Amino acid sequence: MATAPARQAGGSVRVTLWILLVVYIFNFIDRQIVNILAEPIRIELGLSDTQIGLMTGLAFALFYTVLGIPIARFSDRSTTNRPILIGCALAVWSAMTALCGVAQNFIQLLLARIGVGVGEAGCTPPAHSLIADLVEPAKRASALAFYALGIPIGTLLGMLIGGLLADTVGWRNAFLIVGLPGIILAVFVIFMLKDPRRSGMMQQAATPQSTDQMPMKVALKAMFSSRAFVLLVTAGSAAAFLSYGKVTWITIFFQRTHGLTPGETGLYFGLVNGAAGIAGTVLGGYLADRFGSENRRHVLTAPAVGMVITIPFALLAFMTDNWLLALFLLIVPTLCNSLYYGPTYSSVQGLVPLRARAIAAAVLLFFQNLIGLGLGPLFFGMLSDILQPSYGEDSVRYVLYGATLLGIVPAFFFWRCSLRLNDELDQKD
């Protein structure tokens, strides 16, 4: 029978996880809403597909990634109040999202998206560090997968709300309506979220001495001396390159190729993408904890296999001229491509020293977001511009064919990493 302090601690952990989840949902609403609004923005401002790629990807990702590591270092300090850091970051990115709605040209919109990236850089590294301090290693994959639910839920809501608002009040008002509530939430987070380093909720293994900051040089050497860590970063970056690149252009694909409005795309694709993404994220965390407890290499089995399974379903989805059939076929790829979130981040946390957890998350995010979010939409946008003289509005369809076939790359690196997990995790135990 659980003692009162144990029950209290468990309740505090759950409250913390739910608050962090809500913050991460807002993170992805503000990050992804630009995808569903990209086509009406393109039409009003006269943008090329390359400019769309810059706006949806690199403008955000460059500052997001560059600032992520120093913010992670700051959050690793034992004196840092991580809830205040997360709350202030939330206020900044929400205000910048609202400013996107008043942009009069491409440069102004680009600068506002840069501001969103600056704010969002202060969310995930301290959040991962909080979760690692609160949750025992055996349950960490599930806890991080729960936090990662913010990705599909936020993406779903961003598409649904953004598309509906675009059809009814226009893309400018959509940014304003979505951005402003986050400023109110930021105040709530600052006052309600508790830092375990200050509230006595730390896991027993995380002693006060162990939370002292590890020197950057030492932390980086520990990380990159791990072959499994390098393979995992490579796999995660390749997966993010394809994931972020495809979600931007799939929303545009349904509008250009199939003639759906932003609201229709947000509703139908948003529901499919969100529901399948949620299911895949939860399933990935469960499978990692379930089979990884027996043989830790199987923590990454589901992501490796899942990314191969996606290929034929996605190709058929982009080939068909029936948009309903395309939506139905995309359920499997979306679910399978979401399996890697929890297993990837939990493995990273286990492969590095305790005092380098936040910086490890930041390093992974640096590569995932610079390569994935920064270059994915931009690369596919440039490719679409190159193909337009030959294929016209259908150029996006051919871009998505190529992106689908590249899914074999992250699958290979997840598999290679899984072969080394047992040995390297044993060394850290």
Domain ranges of the chain: 12-194+215-428
Cα–Cα dist 145/241, whole Å? 20
Cβ pair 94, 119 in contact under 8 A? yes
Around Cβ 4, how many Cβ atoms within 10 Å? 7
| Mean pLDDT computed over every residue of the chain | 85
What pLDDT score does 4 carry? 44
Question: Which are the contacts of 26, defined by CB distance < 8 A and separation ≥ 6?
Answer: 90, 94, 154, 181, 182, 185
pLDDT, one tens digit per residue, over 216-266 is 778 788 788 888 889 999 999 999 999 888 988 999 999 999 999 999 999
Phi, psi at 28, each rounded to 5°: -85, -25
Question: If pLDDT is split at 50, 70 and 90, which confidence band does 3 have?
Answer: very low
Band (59; pLDDT cuts 50, 70, 90): confident
Of these ranges, 1-5, 26-30, 298-302, the one predicted with the greatest mean pLDDT is: 26-30
- Tens-digit pLDDT profile for residues 358-411: 678 778 878 888 888 889 999 999 999 999 999 988 999 999 999 999 999 999
For the segment 413-422, the average pLDDT, to the nearest whole number, is 86
Residue type, position 195, single letter: D
Q: Quick one: fold of 12-194+215-428? A: Growth Hormone; Chain: A; (1.20.1250)
Condensed to tens digits (0 to 9), the pLDDT of residues 69-94 reads 788 778 777 777 888 999 999 999 99
* Highest-confidence segment of 132-136, 242-246, 394-398, 419-423: 394-398
How confident is the model at residue 8, as a pLDDT?
42
Q: Alpha-carbon distance 298 to 425, whole Å?
A: 13
With CA atoms as reference, report the closest residue to 34 among 154, 122, 149, 127: 154
pLDDT exceeds 70 at position 203: no
Phi, psi of 88 (to 5 degrees): -65, -40
How far apart are the C-alpha atoms of 30 and 265, rounded to whole Å? 17
The yes-or-no verdict on residue 191 having pLDDT over 70 is: yes
Give the pTM.
Answer: 0.76
Tokens found for residue 354: 């305790």
% of residues, the chain, pLDDT over 70: 90
